[in-house]
Amino acid sequence: MERFNILVVGCGLTGSVIARELAEKGKKILVVERRGHIGGNMYDYVDGNGVLVQRYGPHTFHTKKRELYEYISRYADWQDYRLTCGAVINGKYTPAPFNFQTVDDFFDAGKAEAIKDALGTEYSGREFAPVLELLNHKNPLIREYAEFLFRNDYAPYTAKQWGVSPEEIDPGVLRRVPVRFSYGTGYFDDEF
């Protein structure tokens, strides 16, 4: 152990970066990892058939920061990817994060236009907001839309994913998923 200045436990994304940065500053690093590979849950490999396998499920790395993109590019190649998702509510597929298409999918034409107009007016200049913000809005049309989403998607998903009722979960969890105020799709608009 005298040969090392620093012990890094875990060679996932964070441990790898810490070890690399300290090593570049001249420190002698010992990295201890229980798995047989680096990269933590972002680890992938090409199997015998040439297929890229993400052992722990798909992970995407995205950022708005050019310097972070350039840093990662020193050690890895990027594959362009745009994450698009959907949800099935009452037997009908709709984009997720929810957007104006979702309003059109589940409300009659007149009410859908009124909800979209209210969202456009109340959230002018904003691309999205968390469902909790919409649930607490003073406009009854916005609250009705948010209650529909919460009752038919957020509440059952939360109970399944976290194993608790939505009332018991930290509200911060529900802040992570946006409701879009356009027909735009996808979770991330990051350049990189």
Own/partner pairs, 30-33, CB within 8 angstroms, 24+ separation: 30/1, 30/3, 30/4, 30/6, 32/7, 32/8
* This prediction's pTM: 0.67
Digit-coded pLDDT (tens) for 121-138: 999 999 999 998 999 999
| Residue of 135, 165, 151, 157 whose CA lies nearest to 87 | 157
- The answer on pLDDT for 157 being more than 90 is no
Digit-coded pLDDT (tens) for 50-87: 999 999 988 888 899 999 999 989 988 888 877 788 99
Average pLDDT, the chain: 90
Dihedral angle over CA of 158, 161, 162, 166, nearest 10: 10
Digit-coded pLDDT (tens) for 6-18: 999 999 999 999 9
Question: What SS3 string covers the chain?
Answer: CCCCCEEEECCCHHHHHHHHHHHHCCCCEEEECCCCCCCHHHCEEECCCCCEEECCCCCCCCCCCHHHHHHHHCCCCCCCCCCCEEEEECCEEEEECCCHHHHHHHCCHHHHHHHHHHHHHHCCCCCEEEHHHHHCCCCHHHHHHHHHHHHHHHHHHHHHHHCCCHHHCCHHHHCCCEEECCCCCCCCCCCC
Confidence of residue 99 (pLDDT cuts 50, 70, 90): very high
pLDDT at 59: 80
Which residue did the predictor score with more confidence, 178 or 5?
Answer: 5
Confidence of residue 25 (pLDDT cuts 50, 70, 90): very high
Q: Kindly report the number of other CB atoms within 10 A of residue 179's CB atom.
A: 24
- The answer on pLDDT for 174 being more than 80 is no
